[in-house]
Chains A and B, each alone.
Chain A
Amino acid sequence: MTPLLSVSQLSVAYGGIQAVRNLSLDVAQGEMVCLIGANGAGKTTTLKALSGLIAAQSGSIQLDGQPLSGLPAHAIARRGMALVPEGRGVFPRMSVAENLMMGAYIRTDRAAIAHDLDQVYSLLPRLTERRAQPAGLLSGGEQQMLALGRAMMARPRLLLLDEPSMGLAPLMVQAVFDIIRRIAASGVAVLLIEQNAHLALKTCARGYVLETGMITLSGNATELAANPAVRHAYLGEA
C-alpha cells in the first residue's frame, strides 16, 4: 500500500545555509508519526517545505501518490494537508468563530461544515464560551486549541503539527495532547514535530530523529525511547 505521505531525498536551503538534507520519511493513512530534534535541527523547515510555504531545493513529496512539488501552499491545503504552524498562527483580529470558519474556507458543503463546527465546539468546550472573542485575546493554550480546531474544520487527511506543546504549562500540554490523540483516533494521520521527545514518543507509534538537517535514527517509538543515544540526547538521561 502506498503511504499517505511519502517524502524522499528532500533538501531545503536558505540562501547558502543547508537547513534540511536528503530527508526521507513517510506517514501511513491514519498513522501518528513524530519527528524530534533539538533547536535549529530543521523541523520547522521540513514542515514548511511539505506545506508549500517554502520551496524545496530538491527531492520529492507525494500525498496519496500525487506529487506536490512546486504547488503553492493554498493548492496543497486544498488536497487535504493541514498545518498548525509554530506559534499557532490564529488570526488575532478575528473572533474564535470566524477563525474556525476560516479553516473550512475551501469547503462548500454547508451542512457538513455546521456539523463539524458543533463537533469542534464539543471537543473544545473552552472555545465555546469564547466564540465571540477576538482570538488575539485567548491564552496560549486556548490559541493552540483554536488552531487545532481550525485545522479540523478543513477535514484534512494529514495534519502537520509544529511543536504544539511550546510555551504551555504542563496541564495545558496534557489537554492539548489529549485533543491531538482524539483527532488521530478519528482517522486523521498526524505528523507531529516536538522538542519534547518524551511526550512525542509516548504519543506516536513511530518516530524519526532529526539532527542538523539529517535524519539520524528512525523506527518504532518504544524502541526509539529505549535507544541509548536518544535517551542521552533527548530524554535528558546520562
Chain B
Amino acid sequence: MALGMLIERVAYRPLRNAPRLAPLITAIGVSIILQNIAMLIWGKQYIPFPAILPQGRHDILGATISDTQIAILLLALLIMLALILMVQKSRLGRAMRATAQSRQVASLMGIDVNRVIASTFIIGSALAAIAGVMVSAYYGLAHYYMGFLLGLKAFSAAVLGGIGNLGGAMLGGLLLGLIESFGAGYIGDLTGGFLGSHYQDVFAFFVLIAVLVFRPQGLLGARVVERA
C-alpha cells in the first residue's frame, strides 16, 4: 500500500494532465520495474506459498469444489460488496466519483484531489495484494512473474465491463473467467485437437480485442449521454 502511494507520487502525478495513453504506458513500465525488484528479492524460481486457506474438498452435483475455492469466492464477494458500498456511500467514495468526473470542480467543492487520488491508489494496491495472496495460496506457489498475465486479464475484464464502472469490472471478471474455462474445455473439440487447453490464455485477449472493436465503452459503460 505504501508502495502504491509512492508509485502514484513519482510515476503518475507528473502525468495528471497528460493524454490518457501516457499513464497506461507508465503502468506497464512500473509493473516491469516492480517485477524485476521482486525477482531480485525472491529470485527467479517458484517458491512455495503456505496453504493459509482451508484445504478440504466437497462433491456437489457431480462437480468437485475445494474449501480453498469456497474461501476465495466468499472473500472476493465480501471485498466486492465492501468496495461498492465504499464507493457509493462513503464520503471518500463520493469524493472519488466527483474527482473522476472533474478534478477542477471537485476541488471547488473543497475536495483535496491529490489526497483522493492517492487514497485510490492505496486501496487499489491493497486489493491487488489480497488478490495476489489468494492466487498464491490457491496454487501454493509464488513467482515474480505471476502477476503479469493476471494483470493483463484483470485489465481485459475491466475493459469488458466498462472502464470506470465497478459493477462492470466485476461482471467482466466473472464473464471472462467463464469464457476462459469453457474455451479451455472445448478448444480441443473446436479445432479438431489442433489447439489444446493450454491455449486458454488467448481467450482473454480475444475478448479484449473484440470488446475494443465492437463496444469500446464496455458492457455496462456510459449509459448516460452527457449534454453539452
A interface, CB within 8 angstroms of B: 51-53, 72-74, 77-78, 82-83, 85, 89-94, 98, 101-103, 105-106, 134, 136-140, 143, 150, 154
Which residues on B sit within 8 Å (CB–CB) of A140? 227
On whether the beta carbons of A136 and B227 are closer than 8 Å, the reply is yes
- 9 A-B pairs with C-beta separation under 8 A: A74-B113, A78-B110, A89-B102, A92-B226, A93-B97, A134-B224, A136-B226, A137-B225, A143-B227
Nearest first, the 4 closest Cβ-Cβ pairs linking A and B are: A106-B110, A73-B107, A77-B110, A136-B226
- Cβ of A68 to closest chain B Cβ, rounded Å: 14
Total chain B interface residues with beta-carbon distance under 8 A: 21
B95 sits at the interface (CB 8 A): yes
- Cβ of A170 to closest chain B Cβ, rounded Å: 20
B interface, CB within 8 angstroms of A: 91, 94-95, 97-98, 101-102, 104-113, 224-227
On whether the beta carbons of B107 and A102 are closer than 8 Å, the reply is no
Cβ-defined partner of A74 (8 Å) among B97, B102, B111, B227: B111
> Chain A residue with minimal CB distance to B95?
A105
> Chain B residue with minimal CB distance to A83?
B108
A82 to B105, CA, bound (A): 11
Cβ-defined partner of B108 (8 Å) among A82, A98, A143: A82
On whether the beta carbons of B109 and A77 are closer than 8 Å, the reply is yes
User: With contacts A91-B102, A94-B98, A101-B94 known, is A138 near B108, CB below 8 A?
Assistant: no
On whether the beta carbons of A91 and B97 are closer than 8 Å, the reply is yes
- Cβ of B87 to closest chain A Cβ, rounded Å: 12
- Cβ of A1 to closest chain B Cβ, rounded Å: 27
A92 to B164, CA, bound (A): 14
Which residues on A sit within 8 Å (CB–CB) of B113? 74
On whether the beta carbons of B108 and A92 are closer than 8 Å, the reply is no
User: With contacts A85-B105, A89-B105, A92-B101 known, is A154 near B110, CB below 8 A?
Assistant: yes
On whether the beta carbons of A102 and B109 are closer than 8 Å, the reply is yes
User: With contacts A74-B112, A136-B226 known, is A105 near B107, CB below 8 A?
Assistant: no
On whether the beta carbons of A93 and B227 are closer than 8 Å, the reply is no
A53 to B225, CA, bound (A): 27
On whether the beta carbons of B108 and A77 are closer than 8 Å, the reply is yes
